[in-house]
Amino acid sequence: LSFSSASSSSSSSNTSEGEEAARDLILQALQRLADMAASLPASTMQPQAISNLANALARAEMKHPRLLHTLGVAVILTKPTGWDMQSICSVANALVRCGYVEDDVLQAIDAAVSVIPRHRFSAQGVALLANVFSKSEARGSYPGSERMWELLCEGAEVLTDGAWAPQALALSINALASHLCAVSSSYSSPYPSSSSARVFEYMRLAKAKGEKREQGGRGDRGE
């Protein structure tokens, strides 16, 4: 029995050491690849590559200031018309997750959003972008232009109730509420009373409808 226990303990220790060694090897490879990516000319990076690299850093929770700087420069150098809704949302969200919030990068993202056709907006896209800029605004960084916020609101208004998942609704409502508070303290007659506030009310009602449908479904099931 004692021999079996000792063997089990030894095997567990070896497994743990093996997993740690494998993890270290992966981290070394990631660091090497990130170093190589950081050395690439920012002007040669396409939106999809910027998005993939930013999300890889965010997913790995990896701190690499040089690569983040390269990605930021790449965002700035990319023409606003070069982005689609998915890629610009993905990049914006990933950079914020990495803690990289630079005013000139956010301004470039703002410019890209401003040329995306309203019918190309998605509920998730509105939610992610509103969240990114409301967080930036709360930190005292670039808050997003009034025009950009209005475009997000217009994009949200054309989306049907069914387009909104609960998470996107909650994120959007929280971000818009934060933005409303910020601008209300800056203006005696804040512009969101027309555009942002309309959409805030729209999303509140949409969420209420979703909850009502959920309650109705529970009632049909006899819960």
- The CA distance from 11 to 7, in Å, is 6
Least confident span in 3-17, 43-57, 90-104: 3-17
Which pair of tokens denotes residue 154? Answer: 């217009």
- The CA distance from 40 to 95, in Å, is 18
Contact between 210 and 168 (Cβ < 8 Å): no
The model's pLDDT over 62-83, given as tens digits with 9 standing for 90+, comes to: 889 999 999 999 999 999 999 9
- The CA distance from 223 to 218, in Å, is 5
Would you place residue 160 in the very low, low, confident or very high pLDDT band (cuts 50, 70, 90)? confident
Residue 54 pLDDT: 92
Residue 210 has pLDDT above 70, yes or no: no
Residue matched to tokens 């990933």: 94
Residue 205 has pLDDT above 90, yes or no: no
What's the Cα-to-Cα distance from 203 to each of 163, 171, 208, rounded to whole Å?
A: 11, 11, 8
Residue 86 has pLDDT above 70, yes or no: yes
CA atoms within 13 A on the CB side of 159: 27
